[in-house]
Structure 1
């Protein structure tokens, strides 16, 4: 009888344990930027992670992601779960790799000078590549390969002086046919998004770089990045042509990809690709640039072409959770935002903190700052008070590399922690038990199988791969259970008459609003630009095209939802 009772108790315990950990066992259906990749630690000092200049291609119904300084390339079947493929066959330390599918083969090249090689494989999962061209004659930075009806084209350029170039290649020899053509260059006088600075406030000549070609409905969309990878304003512009080598005309909607605010800012030097359901996506470089100019991450954003062929990348609520579709979609509102942000500026308690990295930095929605405990020891913790009971659907834990000495990829780079929730701050239940985790998850995103009602969230450290227990953002998503804010009643605008790239906006704060999303565009029906701010009532935008008039509206949001702007205003 005692044996039977012990068996029953064991199964009861096992059932409870499995139930408490069941939040980790669901099939994830959403993403939250930055993408949760195993970003490699750089090979030089200071110790930091980096991935940038991404190229994504779909090959045989699966996804392959190549990014600068990653020590390999990534593979996925669903855009959610990624594995790293290692290889010694590719020049993985060269910047800005590109890849293209031609027939049943995947081709690869990266920035290099004077000796450039092109590689190929029919089996990228194997990590085995062969040299397809051992002496490509154009030394350059930021290459892009593009296939169009069996013909191969090559675009390149990275300079604050020289333009973006293009040339056709022989599809068999992979060598240029004729001379390269200068396609376009910067115009910072008229195109505000090309000006340097986090907010396009600096007059220096921009770096025009990172070309990428997309063909849609017979038109050729050649995008480029600027003004510089270290700026929050880093984004993509786009030119359009009837032919792959031009002449090109600047698209009316520009920049096509732009995200100067949010938890992680910037959306530049990107590649645009089709998923296996026919949806376009834009995978971009996002900036941190605190330890080093090239401290960067990746973000992925849905991309659309409207009925008139206008290309736009949707970056609104671009670091909130969004649905990863398993069908063809036609509007970003089918994806965004899945849940609202609950954690902004919420009160925190911690086990310890360093003077220059206070606890408030874990909830201020800025990846460039972080809270740090004094040590990386097991038992350091951070606890957030959501100030009322909320429905919690997802959590993103963003770790900071504080006082690390790590270089390159190593097998012991992983985090272990316990994530708990409580209604009263006394009795705790498990949200995620990763005390035995052996996977590198620097931006760990946990989508709960079933939502929970919680007021308090607690994160306890069990292991850091190095340095202190440090968090750039403990981000909680769900719903606050109240009402969305009232609509903004009063939006005022004043465009700078001496510099029409600049416009100043102000509005009356709406009671209950946490933030505002300013939507604008060059047509009243095409408000494709998004500029999101928190706890603000005025804003200066410096990214306009001086040659166009604009239309603006402003949405208010809080923990409960979004209230769209009532009116759309025109300004010449």
Structure 2
């Protein structure tokens, strides 16, 4: 039996399995998450970093720079609600049955419910002058200790560092102790320095404090070098007291990633997840547009010495409520599409592209570039051959199980977006094939009506060699700009070398 006949029989058998899987196999759509998180965008709400997440009566509430609020039962499926008065870098804390919200250069707000309405309680009173470390409440965090004492942590500007003051339990707008300076910029901590190469030894921006108590230890988290850099990162100090003295952790930085789609990981918060473990939420800084940001989350683990660590992820991971013995293990799905639109992949195709906005940019694993099809391309598409590209390689088949799309968002006018965010409703479909000729729809979102600029979806597992993305509609107020298209999955079989494949050059 010759190789061509073997190949045809294999394709026929696989296609029948392919059809069966597409029709019968279902997945738990909340079993995995993938960073950046696919947050809904709504009127007065944009998930644009500086993220605080709290838990109240089994529901999680998220607040970000960009306004609005999100809520979820499982930290996976978030609903959006317009909430007035959400400031830049919001912090929300429950104290004595009320919810207090503060942020950059704003008064303290109060509400009976985490979704508001929040009304002004008052400005901060009896505060020190700038020389004493006060700057009008920049990147604040109200922490309530186990003895119900409230503390305010805040950052100075530039290199000045992090401060703490005890608040009056009867009036949280008043200080009840002298301000204490806890930490400042240390240029021996190279990751704290300004710049994409941390090249400024005397410049930094220390910000974003978050206090977390765990097993009797106080963990003071902070961010540096600045939110405009992909070197933006977080570190932490520890103490046996909420007011110090604090010791620099030996495994710093806690959060730092400078390559790929998840970069500039800092300024976030910690919350107990549905699994009983602590989870880290953080800001993600994009390469383009400058200042563009998203949200990420990952598990926190502690070693036998109490050192805290976070493995930053950018591939599908088990959800916080996924109850199995392997819930802390990587689920194993890999990105399959990176750099597979190029001269070596002759069977990968695209419908159109503009100069400087090439289709290859949609699969380069970099947020600073994007694919922009021609204006007359009414249904732009990219077809990717997942198999190796040369005639000397075996034909690798893959079982795909996830999809990520990231669209370019111009974040240069923050206040306009907070008041009037644009619509980000994208409609699309994913088709798959074993032979590059016969395609089957594996995932259909051609009727989508949910506004998101980052998308992650579980795909019912299906074996294929070719994947095609077709975008059927998008907001026509601006050109289509796709930063990244990622298909996730695992190798699941192979054929002989590609010289036996019809149409392979």
Aligned residue runs from structure 1 range 260-409, under 5 A: 260-292=258-290, 294-315=291-312, 318-326=313-321, 334-347=328-341, 348-375=348-375, 378-387=378-387, 388-401=396-409, 407=417, 408-409=419-420
Matched, 1:131 2:120: yes
Q: Is the 8 A contact 1:23 1:447 kept in 2?
A: no
Q: Secondary structure at the match of 2:479?
A: coil
Post-superposition offset of 1:266:
2.0
Counterparts of 1:442 and 1:134, CA distance in 2: 36
Residues 23, 481 of structure 1: alpha-carbon distance in 2 compared, 3 angstrom cutoff? closer
Structure holding more strand per residue: 1
Name the counterpart of 1:95: 88
Counterparts of 1:122 and 1:29, CA distance in 2: 33
Equivalent residue pairs, number: 449
Name the counterpart of 1:547: none
Alignment partner of 2:107 out of 95, 105, 117: 117
Post-superposition offset of 1:482:
6.8
Q: Secondary structure at the match of 1:179?
A: coil
Post-superposition offset of 1:103:
4.1
Q: Deviations over 1:85-131 (max 9, x none)?
A: 1123x2x3x3211111224332211111xxx4222333224x32233
Counterparts of 2:185 and 2:411, CA distance in 1: 40
Residues 366, 424 of structure 1: alpha-carbon distance in 2 compared, 3 angstrom cutoff? same
Aligned residue runs from structure 1 range 199-238, under 5 A: 199-238=197-236
Q: Is the 8 A contact 2:162 2:184 kept in 1?
A: yes
Counterparts of 1:109 and 1:196, CA distance in 2: 27
Post-superposition offset of 1:468:
2.4
Post-superposition offset of 1:439:
0.1
Matched, 1:74 2:70: yes
Q: Deviations over 1:257-299 (max 9, x none)?
A: 111222221211111111133211111111115333x211111
> What is the CA RMSD across the aligned residues, in angstroms?
3.0
Q: TM-score, normalised by structure 1?
A: 0.73
Matched, 1:84 2:86: no
Post-superposition offset of 1:409:
4.2
Q: Deviations over 1:326-347 (max 9, x none)?
A: 278999x824244112112113
Counterparts of 1:424 and 1:202, CA distance in 2: 54
Counterparts of 2:324 and 2:185, CA distance in 1: 34
Q: Which has the higher contact order (CA 8 A, sep 6+)?
A: 2
Structure 2: runs of 5+ lacking an equivalent: 1-18, 128-135, 342-347, 388-395, 495-505
Post-superposition offset of 1:194:
0.9
Alignment partner of 1:440 out of 438, 444, 451: 451
Counterparts of 1:321 and 1:82, CA distance in 2: 17
Alignment partner of 1:428 out of 439, 442, 450: 439
Structure 1: runs of 5+ lacking an equivalent: 1-16, 44-48, 484-572
Name the counterpart of 2:468: 458
Name the counterpart of 1:245: 243
Residues 382, 470 of structure 1: alpha-carbon distance in 2 compared, 3 angstrom cutoff? farther
Counterparts of 1:243 and 1:363, CA distance in 2: 48
